[in-house]
Amino acid sequence: MTMTATRPAPDFAAARRAMLDSQLRTSGVNEPFVLARMGEVAREDFVPETMRSAAYMDRAIALGDGRHLAAPLVQGRMLAEAKPVATDTALVVDGGSGYLAELLRPLVGSLTVQNAEEAIKGRKGGFSLIVVDGAAEEIPTSLARRMADDGRIVTGLAERGVTRLAVGRKIGGELSLLPVADIGMPVLAEFAAPKGWSF
């Protein structure tokens, strides 16, 4: 008779609670709406089957094709900085998982979700809130044009290998960004800055 040990199924509800207590709250993410959404949405449903047991670890998870699910703290901070309201017309530039869009969905009046390429080429405008699920070396002018005047943006910025969380506002047709925290996050290749001459 051969005995095989069976591994117990992961307790995702417990992992979600641990994420809230050990990753978010201890890092200063205490906004009730952020904790509520991240406690409700099953993060394990947004990763490949083989990575479900690692869905709540405190680092990015590779999804394939150069896409990633950012670490929980990154998306918690982004959601907190976005300060969504029920009157927002929002656009999420999806990093490949759909998770951040699902967190935001019930917090805004309307939500459009596009990948980076679609967001660059898109024409619909008037967004009061844009959230870019990843870091950009440069925010494309075409994306900035899609923001309403006085619209807000939350994104990552990548510069010389360092990524930062940044927030911005469009005023008088001009978008300005302010870095708020150094934080490791996946970089979106579509938002790379044009390469100049080098010798």
Q: 0.75 cut: is pTM over it? A: yes
Q: How far apart are CA 139 and CA 152, in angstroms?
A: 13
SS3 of residue 177 by DSSP:
strand
Q: What is the pLDDT of residue 2?
A: 56
pLDDT at 197 over 80: no
Fold of 12-191: Rossmann fold (3.40.50)
Tens-place pLDDT, residues 153-191: 999 999 988 999 999 999 999 999 999 999 999 999 999
Q: What is the pLDDT of residue 65?
A: 87
The token duo for 98 is 């759909």
Tens-place pLDDT, residues 78-132: 999 999 999 999 999 999 999 999 999 999 999 999 999 999 999 999 999 999 9
The token duo for 104 is 């935001």
**Angle, CA of 46, 55 and 13, to the nearest 5°:** 95
Inter-residue contact 26 to 19 (CB < 8 Å): no
Residue in 111, 113, 108 with CA at minimum distance from that of residue 85: 108
Domain assignments of the chain as residue spans, ordered by start: 12-191
Confidence of residue 5 (pLDDT cuts 50, 70, 90): low
Q: What's the whole-number mean pLDDT along residues 132-149?
A: 95
The token duo for 145 is 């044009």
Higher pLDDT, 5 or 195: 195
Q: What's the whole-number mean pLDDT along residues 51-61?
A: 94
